[in-house]
């Protein structure tokens, strides 16, 4: 492998890690193995710390492919808790309101999910990396500041109901770049008249890359430590 010329590493990001944590682990492993101070490493598509699954990490000249890679269609398995909302639309913040769920039936859920396929408008979460007057929205939200974000046009190709109960649904979502599954959980909960928030999320595909193509963080570090590495002429002793 030639990490300077560029490699694409597919990682199954664990719960609690940021995408930047994964990049840092790869960069540290590479600098130790290559015995150089700096190596270019970046990721294609951010995944929240409370989500797991496919993160693409590019090294060297392969970082030029990041925009193309992160533009690929994404697939997620999402668990949506019904009957309660949180300010962040997931488990990062505490429940701020509860609602009845007795009226929710499987058919109501199926009919509601159908309304979210195709081109939709979505307002990003306040707890997101979207910039507002040069500042990240999540920085403002965590300081208790009011954040108003403009809706974006997105494409939801598929939503499949995988399991149902009046207080929790699990769905498979195939969607375009820029879709916030937390915001989708919020909107589905609102449409059901019950409120909702994301309680678990796993990204299963980015473009043609699936979980079957991914290594764990530790396996990736071990690969870098043990694989035969090609070095560009200018880096050879």
Say if residues 26 and 41 touch (Cβ distance below 8 Å): yes
Which stretches of the chain are DSSP H helices? Answer: 19-34, 66-70, 106-114, 137-142, 181-191, 217-226
- 209: Cβ–Cβ under 8 A, 6 or more apart, which residues? 10, 54, 56, 72
Angle, to 10 degrees, between the axis of helix 19-34 and the axis of helix 217-226? 20
Question: Known catalytic residue: 48?
Answer: yes
Longest alpha-carbon distance in the chain: 71
- 207: Cβ–Cβ under 8 A, 6 or more apart, which residues? 69, 71, 72, 73
Exactly one of 12, 21, 48, 157 is catalytic; which is it?
Answer: 48
Half-sphere exposure of 69 (CA within 13 A, CB side): 22
Say if residues 80 and 185 touch (Cβ distance below 8 Å): yes
Residue 113's Cβ-count burial label (10 Å; 0-12, 13-18, 19+) is buried
- 122: Cβ–Cβ under 8 A, 6 or more apart, which residues? 151, 152, 154, 179, 180, 183, 184, 187
Catalytic residues: 48
């Amino acid at each position: 492998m030639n990490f300077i010329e560029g490699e694409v590493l597919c990682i199954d990001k664990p719960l609690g890690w940021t995408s930047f944590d994964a990049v840092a682990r790869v960069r540290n492993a590479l600098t130790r193995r290559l015995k150089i101070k700096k190596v270019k490493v970046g990721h294609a598509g951010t995944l929240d710390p409370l989500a797991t699954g496919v993160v693409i990490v590019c090294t060297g000249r392969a970082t030029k492919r990041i925009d193309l890679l992160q533009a690929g269609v994404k697939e997620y398995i999402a668990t949506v808790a019904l009957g309660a909302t949180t300010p962040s639309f997931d488990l990062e913040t505490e429940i701020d309101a509860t609602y009845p769920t007795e009226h929710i039936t499987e058919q109501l859920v199926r009919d509601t999910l159908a309304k979210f396929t195709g081109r939709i408008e979505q307002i990003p979460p306040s707890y997101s990396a979207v910039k507002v007057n040069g500042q990240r929205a999540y920085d403002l939200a965590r300081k208790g500041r009011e954040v108003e974000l403009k809706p974006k046009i997105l494409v939801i190709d598929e939503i499949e109901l995988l399991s149902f109960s009046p207080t929790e649904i699990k769905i498979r979502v195939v969607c375009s770049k820029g879709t916030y599954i937390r915001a989708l959980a919020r909107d589905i909960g609102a449409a059901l008249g019950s409120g909702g928030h994301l309680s678990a999320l796993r990204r299963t595909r980015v473009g043609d890359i699936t979980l079957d193509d991914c290594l764990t963080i530790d396996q990736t570090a071990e690969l870098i430590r043990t694989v035969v590495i090609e070095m560009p002429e200018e880096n050879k002793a």
